Structure 1
């Protein structure tokens, strides 16, 4: 846990701690790096504001060291991220949790994932937090989502799943149409973007959408047919917030949607 504010640091240790994991803390970038060189860690929770270097610099240094480059990092920050910072973090950190009302649950959830924690063995109150996060259909209810896919059967299947959770679905069958709908529907809150489409594919469509300042932080989940190595990076570079491979596992999709609509 890398955080220079002692009160925040203690709060996170309290939130995540239990006898199934060991937590080490560091109050500066240099202290964090020397701890990581001394022993292997399975996950790092990082605040971006550090006294001796920025969280970005710490991530850069981790990336340059073979032993540290693959350690999952969860950035836990109260900083308002610019689109440029968001983009940089997407390529360097495994996930970003912004400090807000729902952030303790999210932080517990994200770290549990990377630490392969068995949720049923956690204390009751921690289980209850995760339960709230995963089963809360409240987050989805009434949200307006754009589904972009050139295959009407896929649109139908996704629409059926989402409408069961009271999500309002708008659909488009190509990239151009998707961009027009976005520009004319001010209350759209998320896009599910198929990558493999004729003429204008999902990558190109996402790049186009991100050029408009109004859509810089709009959550876009890319639906990729073949989860090839490098697909994730390619999706994130093109502007996706996250991605999920087809055939879509609906529980996983709903869980991802909740996470992104929380923000």
Structure 2
């Protein structure tokens, strides 16, 4: 078993933005779990649950199924154990002291050492879609009955027993689909390619896939038609859908996609790094199983500061001291900074730079304040950030 006496640095160990160091659990917080008896290679499930009585019940169920049981009563201890013990799966509550379940999930998925671990939520909250969109394998709401718990463990056992994940790529451009296969293939991924919506529907009716990459512009039907078909399938056969498009979605298309978000997980991936990140997340791939170049791409996608590189930001402030300070900080992130000292100048800069990605707007300014400037931007379809711009 790995040494569990040193503090974990979370995602910062992989060169990512540092998170608050998490110390080893205090003796008072430790349930009588199996961490001291855990052997190298032994299968284990981590329970992150602050209801100690319920946690003890779950631990017995874990042991009955042949797993070692690890337990944490708060988010920090759970993150520590996940990083140091690398369990085969995690059962996670949301209502936790200190770091809640959403924060725990986010940090697990930002850490390359733990992001592949299947996580099943077990909580009193009703927010299944949020959990699934973060990469969870399942979501059950408390209180639970024995049948629900049995199904929960069956879901976990199925997730960790599969050595090969199945990915469906739906793309009618042969050259594009070939490039996607080259990007996403791996020794633990079986890829099927559908060149049309009908072919995709046939494959989905015969096989269960773990994830689908979908181009919205198909030759025989739109991607929306295919999503409509999936929505009416058996709920257990629904799957994460990653929209892959070379263009930005229009406002109307985004509204259409929201129609499906209660039943289908929709992600937009516009770059190879982002697409690789999303697919490996939903397929629960171990980072070390990827080749070195794909590991580099994955870490670049996970590194939030890398996402800022090359982005153009318009900085609007009438105080030159603020502009100087913020420009220095943004330049360190390799961002392109365009400056404006008031609202009218900001509008002129947006006309000159229609490729601006972000506007940092002061509110209290002479001539035209921030509120009026924002309203003007939203009303002008020619400006980036308007209500009708892509």
Q: TM-score, normalised by structure 2?
A: 0.40
Deviation at 1:60, TM superposition (A): 2.9
Q: Deviations over 1:181-228 (max 9, x none)?
A: 34544326122689xxxxx99xxx6x974543224xx4x7xxxxxxxx
Q: Deviations over 1:122-176 (max 9, x none)?
A: 11232233355566859625x431479xxxxxx999877534314355799xxxx
Question: Which residue matches 2:172?
Answer: 4
Q: Secondary structure at the match of 1:23?
A: strand
Question: Which residue matches 2:250?
Answer: 83
1:61 pairs with 2:229: yes
Give the counterpart of 1:29 among 197, 219, 222. 197
For 1:10 and 1:74, how far apart are their aligned partners in 2? 17
Question: Which residue matches 2:346?
Answer: 181
> What RMSD over aligned residues (CA atoms) do the two structures have, in Å?
4.9
For 2:294 and 2:210, how far apart are their aligned partners in 1? 20
The count of aligned residue pairs is 206
For 1:4 and 1:61, how far apart are their aligned partners in 2? 18
Q: Deviations over 1:96-145 (max 9, x none)?
A: 42xxxxx433322332233333323311232233355566859625x431
Give the counterpart of 2:268 among 75, 82, 95. 95
For 1:86 and 1:190, how far apart are their aligned partners in 2? 20
Give the counterpart of 1:126 among 289, 294, 306. 294
Assess if the C-alpha contact under 8 Å between 2:277 and 2:302 holds in 1.
Answer: no
Larger radius of gyration: 2
Give the counterpart of 1:140 among 277, 289, 309. 309
CA separation of 1:212/1:28 partners in 2, compared to 1, >3 Å: closer, same or farther? Answer: same
Assess if the C-alpha contact under 8 Å between 1:36 and 1:68 holds in 2.
Answer: no
Deviating 4+ runs (over 6 angstroms): 155-160, 177-180, 238-241
Q: Secondary structure at the match of 2:242?
A: strand
Which gives a bigger RCO, structure 1 or 2 (Cα 8 Å, sep 6+)?
Answer: 1
Give the counterpart of 1:47 among 212, 215, 219. 215
Q: Structure 2 unaligned segments of length 5 or more: list them.
A: 1-168, 261-265, 317-322, 362-369
For 2:232 and 2:345, how far apart are their aligned partners in 1? 42
Question: Which residue matches 1:260?
Answer: none
Q: Secondary structure at the match of 2:243?
A: strand
Assess if the C-alpha contact under 8 Å between 1:145 and 1:190 holds in 2.
Answer: yes
Name which of structure 1's ranges 105-114 and 155-164 shifts more when overlaid on structure 2.
155-164
**Which protein is richer in helix relative to its size?**
1
Q: Secondary structure at the match of 1:24?
A: strand
Assess if the C-alpha contact under 8 Å between 1:29 and 1:50 holds in 2.
Answer: yes
Assess if the C-alpha contact under 8 Å between 1:179 and 1:209 holds in 2.
Answer: no
Q: Structure 1 unaligned segments of length 5 or more: list them.
A: 98-102, 149-154, 195-199, 221-237, 242-263
Give the counterpart of 1:190 among 347, 357, 376. 357
